[in-house]
Amino acid sequence: MNFWLLSPELSLCGIALAVVLLDLVIEQKKVLAVISVFGLIIPIAFTIALWGEQQASFSGMLVVDNFSLFFKFLILGISALVIISSVDYVKKFARFQGEYYALILFSTGGLMLMCSTGELISIYIALELASISLYALVSFLKDPKSSEAGLKYMILGAISSAVLLLGMAFVFGITGSTHLDQIADKVSTLVSGGQLWDSPALLFGIVLMVAGFGFKIASVPFQMWVPDVYEGAPTPITAFLSVASKAAGFAVILRVFYTAFGIEAISADWGMIFAVLGAISMTLGNVVAIAQTNIKRMLGYSSIAHAGYIMVGLAAISTLGKSGVLFFLAGYALANLGAFIAIIAISNKTGSDEISDYSGMSRRSPVISFILAFCLISLIGIPPTVGFMAKFYIFNAAIQQDLLWLVIIAVLNSTISAYYYLRVVKVIYIGEPLSDEPIPSSIPMRVSLAITSIGVLVLGIYPWIVLRLAETAVVTFP
């Protein structure tokens, strides 16, 4: 057993425990946020030190390679931005700041483990470590909406975990192993020269696993939890759910399907499953988002739509498709976090997430309003933002794999999404302000807004900065 390979996760858990213990003895609770953010430097440093490693440990359950390390960088960055943007928001539950930051760190550790697992049981354990912390965080406000959101998320999460376990049981029963590389060897024997349909038990197991993972990435028809949970959860946690959880979910899907089920005989079959789910997800998400009046619910349905866009890259079974998924997740994280951080700043002052209450916001806070509008434009996919480049690479990969029909659906959906995103921009810039009071923002809030907005612009102009890392990461897979 090589504990060095587990150093980012172990150090992260150590920081979380330190936050809990310090919360018992210090009176200035703002110190906890500082420790949480600067403490992340330690796992980030370990992750940098591990870059280039290609090893498995703990009987093959832990796999450390550039693919897993890419996602660890991404999730640690998301966690840092969420904690920074929470500094003002935590006044709503000032007594429980230590628990709040510690749960974010524990959940981050679980999500990082999900990206490094090479065995089905360890995947499930890592998923539960991340999910249990999130169940508590979603209900942290303890008001009726937050409590309802936490209960729904927990119940539906438990059901999805059961479905995922059943799927894993079928795969284990047919292959006799829970290790992904051993499953791949057995699957190649089972369907050699045939198709996935020739093994109904294996097909059923794969479908159930797609359903279980589909809950994690918020794809149709497993998206029913999204709008209520996004609306009821504390806004920083909504942001964390929308990007970190989704990133880890896609990381697991990529590793499982390209490692265990990546043989040519069946890859086209599960690729078509993702293509159909992607088309339905982006269509339902965008169409229903039009009717939303609450900006968090609107971004919830937007998240469902973006899961559909990312599945376009999954369906395009190629190196460009895989690297495109990684780049899309990085760009989506920046744009979505930027939008949510701006929403946090505004809702801290107004106490409302209704789109109508954003009327004339540009005159009350020009900078925050511009960043919100800019991030929404990136989510549409308009240049020169990272959203445009992300969709360009994903769609290009699909076209090269003869999935033109799927790209047409995706482009049409991008056009539909422009309506509800630009509606918010219109309200912000053309509507009459409901008050003359400016929207205050603390230094941590400004820092997080600056990082996300600059990232959206820079990666829109120079995408190769992250794209090269993504291409290096996916070399792991055949």
Closest by CA position to 36, among listed 107, 92, 91, 95: 107
Select the highest-mean-pLDDT range: 53-62, 146-155, 224-233, 298-307: 298-307
The single-letter DSSP state of residue 256 is I
Task: Determine the average pLDDT of the residues in 457-466.
Answer: 89
N- to C-terminal Cα separation, the chain: 26
Q: Which residues have a Cβ under 8 Å from the Cβ of 26 and sit 6 or more positions away?
A: 32
Task: Determine the average pLDDT of the residues in 78-107.
Answer: 87
Under the banding of pLDDT at 50, 70 and 90, the label for residue 374 is very high
Task: Determine the average pLDDT of the residues in 285-294.
Answer: 90
Under the banding of pLDDT at 50, 70 and 90, the label for residue 362 is confident
**Rounded CA gap, 328 and 465, in Å?**
13
Q: What are phi and psi of 380, to 5 degrees?
A: -65, -45
* Range list of H helices, 366-442: 366-380, 386-400, 404-430
SS3 string, 371-390, reads: HHHHHHHHHHCCCCCHHHHH
Tell me how crowded residue 67 is: count the other CB atoms within 10 A of its CB: 25
Task: Determine the average pLDDT of the residues in 433-455.
Answer: 85
- Residue 382 predicted with pLDDT over 80: yes
Determine the Cα angle at 73 with ends 367 and 345, to 5°: 25
**Rounded CA gap, 114 and 62, in Å?**
9
For residue range 153-195, list pLDDT tens digits in order: 888 888 888 888 999 998 888 888 888 888 888 887 776 655 5
**Rounded CA gap, 413 and 7, in Å?**
42
Name the residue type at position 149: A
**Rounded CA gap, 297 and 145, in Å?**
13
**Rounded CA gap, 340 and 378, in Å?**
13
* Contact call for residues 22 and 118 (beta carbons, < 8 A): no
Task: Determine the average pLDDT of the residues in 291-300.
Answer: 90
Q: Is the C-alpha dihedral spanning 102, 103, 107, 113 positive or negative?
A: positive
Percent of the residues in the chain that have a pLDDT greater than 90, as a whole number: 29
Structure tokens at 232: 């009821």
Length of the chain measured in residues? 478
- Residue 152 predicted with pLDDT over 70: yes
Tell me how crowded residue 437 is: count the other CB atoms within 10 A of its CB: 11
Token look-up 């190769």 returns 464
Task: Determine the average pLDDT of the residues in 403-418.
Answer: 91
* Range list of H helices, 176-294: 180-190, 200-217, 226-232, 235-240, 246-255, 264-289
**Rounded CA gap, 234 and 343, in Å?**
11
Task: Determine the average pLDDT of the residues in 30-48.
Answer: 89
- Residue 359 predicted with pLDDT over 70: yes
Paired strand residues for 64: 55
Q: What is the pLDDT of residue 25?
A: 83
**Rounded CA gap, 404 and 402, in Å?**
6
Q: What is the pLDDT of residue 330?
A: 92
**HSE on the CB side for 470, CA within 13 Å?**
24
**Rounded CA gap, 23 and 29, in Å?**
7
For residue range 12-31, list pLDDT tens digits in order: 999 999 998 988 888 787 88
